[in-house]
Amino acid sequence: LEVLGTIFYEGTPLHDGAVVVRDGTYLLNVGPTGDGAILPIQQCMLEEVGNWIRTCGKCIYTGKPSPIKGDGKNFALTDGVKDYFFIHDLGIFGQAHVTVAGNGEGIKHFSGVKNKVKSIRYTDNGQELEFIQKFDELFIYAPACDYGTNYVVRVAEADYE
Measured CA to CA, the distance from residue 146 to residue 67 in angstroms comes to: 31
* Percent of the residues in the chain that have a pLDDT greater than 90, as a whole number: 41
Dihedrals phi, psi of 64, to nearest 5 degrees:
-125, 160
- pLDDT band of 130, cuts 50, 70, 90: very high
Evaluate if residue 125 carries a pLDDT over 80: yes
Measured CA to CA, the distance from residue 110 to residue 123 in angstroms comes to: 18
- pLDDT band of 159, cuts 50, 70, 90: very high
Judge contact between 117 and 154, C-beta under 8 A: no
Q: What is the pLDDT of residue 67?
A: 94
- What average pLDDT does this structure show over 91-106? 62
Q: What does 50-104 look like in DSSP terms, one character per residue?
A: HHHHHHHHHHHHH-EEEEEEESTT-EEEE-SS-EEEEEE---EES-TTTS-S---
Q: What is the pLDDT of residue 26?
A: 62
Measured CA to CA, the distance from residue 127 to residue 144 in angstroms comes to: 12
Contacts of 100 by beta carbon, 8 Å cutoff, 6+ apart: 91, 92
With residues binned 3-state (H G I as helix, E B as strand, rest as coil), the percentages for the chain, rounded to 5, are 15, 40, 45
Q: What is the pLDDT of residue 27?
A: 63
Measured CA to CA, the distance from residue 91 to residue 147 in angstroms comes to: 9
Q: What is the pLDDT of residue 103?
A: 58
Q: Which amino acid is at 29?
A: N
Q: What is the pLDDT of residue 61?
A: 84
* DSSP run (H or E) holding 16: strand 12-19
* Percent of the residues in the chain that have a pLDDT greater than 70, as a whole number: 70
13-22, 105-114, 151-160: which has the minimum mean pLDDT? 13-22
pTM of the model: 0.77
